[in-house]
Amino acid sequence: MQPMLNTAIKAARRAGSLINRASLDISQIKVSAKQQNDFVTEVDRAAEATIIETLREVYPSHAILAEESGDSRPDADSEFQWIIDPLDGTTNFIHGFPQYAISIALAHKGALTQAVIFDPNRNELFTASKGGGAFLNDKRIRVSNRAKIDEALLGTGFPYRMFDHVDAYLAIFKDMTRRCAGVRRPGAASLDLAYVAAGRLDGFWEFGLAPWDMAAGALLIIEAGGLVSDLAGESDYLNTGNIVGGNPKVFNQLLQAIQPHRTAALQA
């Protein structure tokens, strides 16, 4: 296996053990709000420190973009950047709602090359390497082959912090709830994307995400035979924060359905 992927797996499993230990007594966990509805705990910070320490031991010169500690670039010329969400689904975690994950991706010259998403509750490890396919606990996964959005189970994330897109979002939500087989909002974007890769969801959309919510999940979907894009159907989702993904047929219908609702606030 790719050594860089192996190191990321080791980092994710270490963070997972720490998160599992902390989840045994959530009443002890100190929570603070970074801004409205955006929470961080000492567990997020400790998990991130463990991940960074594990990566730095092997790759001291690589750049790192991590949710809680930001951007660090020990070597200005490094072509590699790790993109880390140490605990995706913090609100779920704080409430003891068992749907959260660790997400680690590696980009080389700006292109996603490695992906790890680890669900410590179910011990599910989703991995992908560029050109090498996507896996769940070492078994190959593929997107679903459901062809019609009318029969699709879609995942999404509700706007909860930046409300500029809420009207456009609700219009799309109304269309989708009328049209498809069901819409789910589990609360951890990285796992939602991994579930699309595994064929558990047929498609997904969310606006206003950060790169660490999407990077690993996007590579997983691509390597599982699916498609991801921003709202314009382009590949700028890591920068715009708006993502649509799915198996190729559902992806196209979902992207199409979103088009009439794109507003001035919500272009790409």
Please report, as ranges, the residues that interact with ligand IPD according to CB under 6 A.
85, 88-91, 157, 187-189, 206, 209, 213
> Using alpha carbons only, what angle is made at residue 94 by residues 90 and 100, rounded to the nearest 5 degrees?
40
* SS3 sequence of the chain: CCHHHHHHHHHHHHHHHHHHHHHCCHHHCCEEEEECCEEEEHHHHHHHHHHHHHHHHHCCCCEEEECCCEEECCCCCCCEEEEEEEEECHHHHHCCCCCCEEEEEEEECCEEEEEEEEECCCCEEEEEECCCCEEECCEEECCCCCCCHHHCEEEECCCCCCCCCHHHHHHHHHHHHHHCCEEECCCCHHHHHHHHHCCCCCEEEECCCCHHHHHHHHHHHHHCCCEEECCCCCCCHHHHCCEEEECHHHHHHHHHHHHHHCCCCCCC
Contact flag: residue 206 with Ca ion (CB under 5 A) = no
User: Where does this chain touch Ca ion (CB under 5 A) — which range of 27-35, 59-67, 154-162, 226-234?
Assistant: 59-67
Among residues 78 and 91, whose Cβ is nearest to ligand IPD? 91
Closest distance of CB 165 from Ca ion, Å: 17
Q: Which does 157 bind (CB under 5 to 8 A by kind): Ca ion, ligand IPD, none?
A: ligand IPD
Closest distance of CB 252 from Ca ion, Å: 27
Closest distance of CB 173 from ligand IPD, Å: 13
Among residues 67 and 192, whose Cβ is nearest to Ca ion? 67
Contact flag: residue 192 with Ca ion (CB under 5 A) = no
Closest distance of CB 13 from ligand IPD, Å: 19
Contact flag: residue 119 with Ca ion (CB under 5 A) = no
Instruction: Give me the residue whose beta carbon is nearest to ligand IPD.
Output: 157
Contact flag: residue 202 with Ca ion (CB under 5 A) = no
Which tokens sit at 29? 């966990």
Closest distance of CB 214 from Ca ion, Å: 9
Q: Give CA–CA dist 25/5, Å, rounded.
A: 31
Q: Which does 209 bind (CB under 5 to 8 A by kind): ligand IPD, Ca ion, none?
A: ligand IPD
Among residues 59 and 195, whose Cβ is nearest to ligand IPD? 195
Contact flag: residue 230 with Ca ion (CB under 5 A) = no
Contact flag: residue 85 with Ca ion (CB under 5 A) = yes
Closest distance of CB 188 from Ca ion, Å: 7
Among residues 184 and 262, whose Cβ is nearest to ligand IPD? 184
- List residues binding Ca ion (CB under 5 A): 67, 85, 87-88, 213
